[in-house]
Structure 1
Amino acid sequence: MLPRLPLDDRTFESILQEARRSIPQRLPEWTDENTHDPGVTFLELFSWLSEMQQFYLSRVPERNLRKFLDLLGVSPREASSAEAEVSFGNVRESVVLPRGTKLLAEDQLFETLDRVRLLPLAIDRIVTRTEREASDRSASNTGGNVAFYAFGREAAADSRLYIAFDREPVVGEIISLHIRLAEDSNRTADIAGGKPEGVIPSARVAWKAYGWEEKHGVSWLPLRLLEDDTLHLTYSGRITFEITAPLRPVIVHPAGDRPRYWISCTLEESGYELPPRIDRLLLNTVRARQQDTKSEQALFDSNGMPGFSIEDDSFLARYGKLRVQVRESDGRWREWREIPNFDAGNADAQSTCYTVERHSGSNGPVTVRFGDGVLGTIPPQGKGNIRRIHYSEEFTSLCYIGRSNGLPYQKFQLYDLPCKWSNGLLLQVGVPEGDGGRLLWEDWEPVRDFDRSGPLDRHYVYNPSTGELKFGNDENGAIPASHEDLNLCVMSCVLGGGERGNIKPHLLNSWIQPELDELQLTADNAGYGVGGAEGESLEDCLERAQKEWQTPYCAVTNDDYVRIAKSTPGLKVARVHVIPHYAPGRGKSAPGAVTVVVVPKGLNDTPMPSPGFLATVAKHLDDRRLVTTEVHVIAPEYVQVTVHAVVVVEPHFMEEGHRIVAALNRLISPLDKPDGIQGWPFGRTVHKGDIYSAISRIKGIAYVQDLWLDAEGKSIRKSAGGDILLPDSGIIFSGDHRIELISRTQL
């Protein structure tokens, strides 16, 4: 019996019952629902037909499902690698760690994503200063798990964050400071460096150092900022600056035991919706990804001059093996050979060769130098026509995956290279040069399938889940040239990915290369490794696609505007209200205009969006609005409502007036509460009856003897009955309610 594929899990009985339940709604005049009724017979017939149709739809094979998804632009997600921040310690002298430096967390291999220069520098003190107080936060940074506000809870303008170093930085040193915010500690995108695009910062900060300059003397001088990955301390990230003037020691209160070398971050323009709360400040830190690069390639431009050289610095460049290729006029690549030096015995004018120059102790970039036209050929001038391929020692026996027989539909199983990404393998095919000559190498491109491939397209398909590599049939995809020897070579290969890379803190601490272990450096990841995931199954992809199809992309209805505004990348939006046919300054006589009121998440009851916040939401909506729609994004108009009430209560309730105030605060609130209580609707009139009802529901209340409302804010009016009339963008918050209690026995 063939297994059943439940594309739709509804049975005949469930379909029939669903249809019968809809009869009272759709056809209320249909009263006879017994079996003898002809209408019920038709329902049974169509329910049976529906079940049969579901069965045949469920017989769609996996290949067809993938094709259907491809037509819709959807494909199963491949595995992803976890990333973590790794910090290095015990730095006794300046050391450069190349990109791709390998570290081990138990059995998981990680590689650094950037080249990093480790400096014998440490953070000695951290001080925060506001208008009210100055605090030493050094213990919070070193102890961990205790976050602190960089500019205080209010984040007022001119608040400062001071950072002191344990020694004087040298002029010309480039220092990278990693800042991890507490709000971003569990956000994968921020740790991975994937900041949302198009976000306009809500505040502006300035970085300075206390130093000496001939023009200004000893004072706080602006730092030369090379990179601000934090967007003015809005997200976690890296800040890189260069020391351009000699620093001078100074005492900063309350770290007044001795002078230190300080830099400062001054909040020049306030506006944070959520003030930055720092979890850790780290030096000598770099991001690392759970992966194992077996082979990598890099392209370089040639200037066609004698003695031309190229430099590259990566882990495999320093400690791996090297191949150099030069592009021929027909686009193919010729392999050049390495020689120890250029002399008459090793090279002549026709020799396609190069030499390799390494720094002493493998601490620096590796240089490849070419000939001068007399001793060694000069590579022709061109853009990206020189390729360096670096690979590990063990990859030498794995890079050649087979030979082509020149037939269509060739398949190869890569048992020894379990790559989890379709583009994690880059392939070259060797083509003989003439009869029995050396191989020239052609670059082949990975594709998802051969549906869009022509007979001349050098494409291949790699399936990460099965490890199978396939070529075309000379109609959809070219056939690799045949050869007697191995001529299919993997040029680039990256392994890794999966959930196991989501490591715990303090596990990333072992070196792979003995030369790095000899430096006696320490490594540690203060946070978790996040972002690792297995490849998505076809069933999960179908479920995700169905949810995406049900979610409109364009903003048409009010609900669309609310949903899209709340999902603005990089922002935390608490509430959204849409006012159709309204434009600021024109009122409700603006056909085609839509005004969106946004409330950010904040620390107080009346959070206000900054101009940058509003501009970011407006840009996000502008990309999704209808062409004929005019969109405006504005801040809410807060109205403070104060309740004055005389309440008659039971005698035992005379000391429980705070319960009435608490109930009013829950009712008169602009924000949603964690217990499921929704905030006050935008523009809704505050009726005295609502207040009467909220107070009367409290246990111990006899009745409300008298009640009146006061309001403070723009564009508010009071009705003849004492109700508060709000503007369309208005929202209320509680004032200082005044409640007078009278015992029932006193009347």
Structure 2
Amino acid sequence: MLPKIPLDDRTFDSIVQEARKGIQKRLPEWTDENAHDPGITFVEMFSWLSEMQQYYLSRIPERNLRKFLSLLGIAPREAAAAETEVSIGNVTKPIELPAGTKLQAEDQPFETIERARLLPLSIDRIVTRTEREASDRSASNTGGNVAFYAFGKEAAADSRLYIAFDREPIVGETIALHVRLADGDEGVTSELHEKIVPSAKVAWKIYGEDDEGGMSWLPLAVMEDETVHLTYSGTISFLIEAPVRQVIVHPAADKPRYWISCTLENAGYELPPRIDRVLLNTVKVRQQDTKSEHFVYDGTGLPGQAIVSARFLARYGDILVQVREADGSWRDWREVRSFDEADIARDGRCYVVAREAGPDGWSEVRFGDGKRGDMPAEGTGNIRRIHYEKSFVALSLIGRSNGLPHQKVMLHDLPCKWRDGLALQIGVPSEDGAEMLWEDWKPVADFDRSGPLDRHYVFEPGTGTIAFGNDENGAIPAASEEFNIRLIGCVLGGGERGNIKPHLLTEWRQEEERELGLTSDNAGYGFGGAEEESLEACLERAQAEWQTPYVAVTSDDYARLAMETPGLRVSRVHVIPNRAPGREKPAPGSVTVVVVPEGLGETPAPSAGFLATVTKHLDDRRLVTTEVHVVAPEYVKVTVHAVVVVEPQFMDESRRIAAALKRLLAPTDGKDGVLGWPFGRTVHKSDIYGAISAVKGVAYVQDLWMDAEGRAAKKSPGGDILLEGHGIVYSGDHRIELISRAQL
């Protein structure tokens, strides 16, 4: 029996009954609804057809579902690789750590994303100084697991953070400080960086020698600031432009040190920066394992052209060089030891590889001068360097083509999880049959848009299958008796297992790297690793995305989009339509959005930068004719004076009543799920009576009155507090007088 597929919960009987109920409404002259009537026969027949259509609609194959999603511009997400930061220690001299350097966290491989310059520096002391106090935070930064405020809890202007190095920084070097904040926000992306207006402004200085030979605090050139003025975790890079000198900074007054300072020039943090760690020699790593990579270069057409690379596989792996032919195919050139006649006698299309050993090593590919070794022609992107991991060279040839349609090749030993994680070439025998000329093939999601001449292939990471076309949708690889399907790029990795715990990334995978005596450690978790999204999960995400508005039309749209402003922590949002600040009359076409940030105090207020960032986010999504104003809330302090009669045993419980009132008159939502006071809602005496009466031990409220402080509040003749649309209340120091019921 075929399984029942619940596309719709309507059965044959329910469809018939629904149709019969509509007879009297649509055809009142139809009075005979018995089974012998031909009309009822037609109703039952079409009900049966409807039930069959529902059944077959439920049996939509997976391929069709993927096509429907593609029409909506949605596809299941591929596996994602986790990223984290690793700090390098025991650096005794400047070292160039190449991009792609391989590390290991238990059984998970990681690689550095970019080249890093490691300096023989370490952080000796950290001091924070505010108007009230100066504190030595060095112990917290060396693994004490105690976060500290960079500028104190109040983060007032002119507060300072001092960082001392154990030795003199070298002039001309770039120092990169990695700052990890305790709240866990990672550094923003470059795209998001342009959209965020910082809430506060800091200035970095270094104590050094000026042009006239005097000693003073000099401006420090900031090359990059991923933290956006210490708002997010990230890296800050400085260029040392002048000689650094020693100075004593209290309370680290035991000896002079080499100090830099960060001064809070313009206050305004919604959440004061709380630092977990400040680290040196820290680089970003990604959970992946590159087996092969390739890069193209321009040919100069000049004798002795040399191409230098300092990447990890270029330094320690095997190198293959290709030069593009006139027809667009690639020819493998031959590596020789030198350009002596004995080495180049067989073929002048050759190159010499030179390597520089050591921590700053590199590899150079050099071509001949036209007499001793050929020269690549002048051209754009006509030279390619391919770097192989030594153990991968034998695995790069993955199969041969039989020249038939719908060929498939399995990658049994290469668990690649990304469709673009492979770079594929197909070999075509040359005219004389002496060698292979290689053609680049391009990965696509499917062959629907591929023509008969398009060199396309489809890679399914889940099954490890590479599929080719049929000469109508996608070309067929040329037949060959030898292996002619080759990988020139292969990156493995990805998945949830890359989300490692702290202090696991401690092993170097290359012996030469281990010999340097460096240590490695990740202070934070790996984050971002995910498995490939299933089709069912993709369908659910598509439904959710299409139900989530991108354009702001209604008040709910503005509230949702403001809450989701990238890079900001928004606590509450209130939208007032047809309202513009400063206008008493209604303003059609205007919208006022009131935002409350997350903060430490009772009345968190957004800075000018915070409001500007929300405005930019909404401005990209508003209707053209709509005028959007983003403003701060107007806080109103409400103080309750009450005389409360309680049971005799509760005469010391006035604090519980005050706490209940504070919970009621809160401007933000509580952690226990209690919602904050609604914007603009009148504070009635009945609200206060209800809150006090709900406290255990309260008999009744004998007397009650309220006071309000704030521009957005007025008091009604009956004693209620009237609020304007952008007004929101918070508690004052409530005064509660208790009277024992036994005394009455």
Q: TM-score, normalised by structure 2?
A: 0.92
| 1:714–1:498 Cα change, 3 Å | same
Match of residue 31 from structure 1: none
Q: Is the 8 A contact 1:193 1:237 kept in 2?
A: no
CA RMSD in angstroms, aligned pairs only: 3.1
| 1:539–1:715 Cα change, 3 Å | closer
Say if 2:585 is the partner of 1:598: no
Question: 1:676-730: per-residue Cα shift (whole Å, max 9, x none)?
Answer: 2111111111222222222222233333333222222224322222222211111
Match of residue 257 from structure 1: 254
Q: Which amino acid in structure 1 is aligned with residue 71 of structure 2?
A: L
Q: Is the 8 A contact 2:187 2:226 kept in 1?
A: no
State the alpha-carbon separation in 1 of the partners of residues 204 and 409 from structure 2: 56
Match of residue 31 from structure 2: none
Match of residue 614 from structure 1: 611
| 1:50–1:518 Cα change, 3 Å | same
Report the Cα offset of residue 515 of structure 1.
1.1
Match of residue 662 from structure 2: 665
State the alpha-carbon separation in 2 of the partners of residues 553 and 537 from structure 1: 25
Q: Is the 8 A contact 1:349 1:373 kept in 2?
A: no
Q: Is the 8 A contact 2:635 2:712 kept in 1?
A: no
Match of residue 453 from structure 2: 456
State the alpha-carbon separation in 2 of the partners of residues 731 and 14 from structure 1: 56
State the alpha-carbon separation in 2 of the partners of residues 665 and 618 from structure 1: 32
Deviation larger for 351-360 or 135-144: 351-360
SS in 2 for 1:211: strand
Match of residue 546 from structure 1: 543
Q: Which amino acid in structure 2 is aligned with residue 552 of structure 1?
A: P
Report the Cα offset of residue 525 of structure 1.
1.8
State the alpha-carbon separation in 1 of the partners of residues 369 and 240 from structure 2: 40
Q: Which amino acid in structure 2 is aligned with residue 710 of structure 1?
A: D
Q: Is the 8 A contact 2:97 2:359 kept in 1?
A: no
Say if 2:490 is the partner of 1:493: yes
Match of residue 70 from structure 1: 70
| 1:567–1:741 Cα change, 3 Å | same
| 1:732–1:494 Cα change, 3 Å | same
State the alpha-carbon separation in 2 of the partners of residues 197 and 217 from structure 1: 38
Match of residue 147 from structure 1: 147
Report the Cα offset of residue 159 of structure 1.
1.1
Q: Is the 8 A contact 2:359 2:516 kept in 1?
A: no
Which one of 700, 704, 707 corresponds to residue 707 of structure 1? 704
Match of residue 95 from structure 1: 95
Report the Cα offset of residue 219 of structure 1.
1.0
| 1:196–1:51 Cα change, 3 Å | farther
Match of residue 111 from structure 2: 111
Match of residue 33 from structure 1: none
Q: Which amino acid in structure 1 is aligned with residue 740 of structure 2?
A: S
Report the Cα offset of residue 644 of structure 1.
2.2
Q: Percent identity?
A: 68
State the alpha-carbon separation in 2 of the partners of residues 46 and 277 from structure 1: 69
Deviation larger for 342-351 or 384-393: 342-351
State the alpha-carbon separation in 2 of the partners of residues 680 and 158 from structure 1: 35
Q: Is the 8 A contact 2:712 2:726 kept in 1?
A: no
Say if 2:645 is the partner of 1:648: yes
Q: Which amino acid in structure 1 is aligned with residue 167 of structure 2?
A: R
Report the Cα offset of residue 49 of structure 1.
7.7
Report the Cα offset of residue 98 of structure 1.
1.0
Q: Which amino acid in structure 2 is aligned with residue 460 of structure 1?
A: Y
Which one of 207, 222, 230 corresponds to residue 210 of structure 1? 207
Q: Which amino acid in structure 1 is aligned with residue 713 of structure 2?
A: I
Say if 2:157 is the partner of 1:160: no
Question: 1:345-377: per-residue Cα shift (whole Å, max 9, x none)?
Answer: 545999333222211336322222223344333
Q: What number of residue pairs does the alignment pair up?
A: 729
| 1:14–1:83 Cα change, 3 Å | farther
Match of residue 288 from structure 1: 285
| 1:96–1:43 Cα change, 3 Å | farther
Q: Is the 8 A contact 2:188 2:227 kept in 1?
A: no
Match of residue 179 from structure 2: 179
Deviation larger for 372-381 or 521-530: 372-381
Report the Cα offset of residue 69 of structure 1.
1.4
State the alpha-carbon separation in 2 of the partners of residues 257 and 361 from structure 1: 39
Match of residue 558 from structure 2: 561
| 1:384–1:261 Cα change, 3 Å | same
Say if 2:704 is the partner of 1:735: no
State the alpha-carbon separation in 2 of the partners of residues 83 and 326 from structure 1: 35
Report the Cα offset of residue 148 of structure 1.
1.1
Match of residue 234 from structure 1: 231
| 1:49–1:643 Cα change, 3 Å | farther
Aligned pairs for 1:514-529 within 5 A: 514-529=511-526
Report the Cα offset of residue 220 of structure 1.
1.1
Q: Which amino acid in structure 2 is aligned with residue 608 of structure 1?
A: A
Report the Cα offset of residue 465 of structure 1.
0.4
Aligned pairs for 1:281-360 within 5 A: 281-346=278-343, 351-360=348-357
SS in 1 for 2:358: helix
State the alpha-carbon separation in 2 of the partners of residues 449 and 463 from structure 1: 10
Match of residue 32 from structure 2: none
Report the Cα offset of residue 589 of structure 1.
2.3
Match of residue 466 from structure 1: 463
Q: Which amino acid in structure 1 is aligned with residue 452 of structure 2?
A: P
State the alpha-carbon separation in 2 of the partners of residues 701 and 174 from structure 1: 67
Question: 1:495-553: per-residue Cα shift (whole Å, max 9, x none)?
Answer: 11122222222222122211111112112222222222211121222222222222222
SS in 1 for 2:195: coil
State the alpha-carbon separation in 2 of the partners of residues 216 and 685 from structure 1: 66
Say if 2:385 is the partner of 1:399: no
| 1:192–1:89 Cα change, 3 Å | farther
State the alpha-carbon separation in 2 of the partners of residues 244 and 637 from structure 1: 47
State the alpha-carbon separation in 2 of the partners of residues 588 and 381 from structure 1: 71
Match of residue 443 from structure 2: 446
Deviation larger for 117-126 or 546-555: 546-555
State the alpha-carbon separation in 1 of the partners of residues 14 and 736 from structure 2: 58
Q: Is the 8 A contact 1:473 1:479 kept in 2?
A: yes
SS in 2 for 1:704: strand
Q: Is the 8 A contact 1:144 1:279 kept in 2?
A: no
Q: Which amino acid in structure 2 is aligned with residue 523 of structure 1?
A: S
State the alpha-carbon separation in 2 of the partners of residues 208 and 426 from structure 1: 47
SS in 1 for 2:142: helix
Match of residue 122 from structure 2: 122
State the alpha-carbon separation in 2 of the partners of residues 376 and 90 from structure 1: 45
| 1:368–1:15 Cα change, 3 Å | farther
State the alpha-carbon separation in 2 of the partners of residues 501 and 573 from structure 1: 30
Deviation larger for 657-666 or 735-744: 735-744
Report the Cα offset of residue 12 of structure 1.
4.9
Match of residue 472 from structure 2: 475
Q: Which amino acid in structure 2 is aligned with residue 149 of structure 1?
A: Y
Match of residue 30 from structure 1: none
Match of residue 82 from structure 1: 82
Say if 2:577 is the partner of 1:575: no
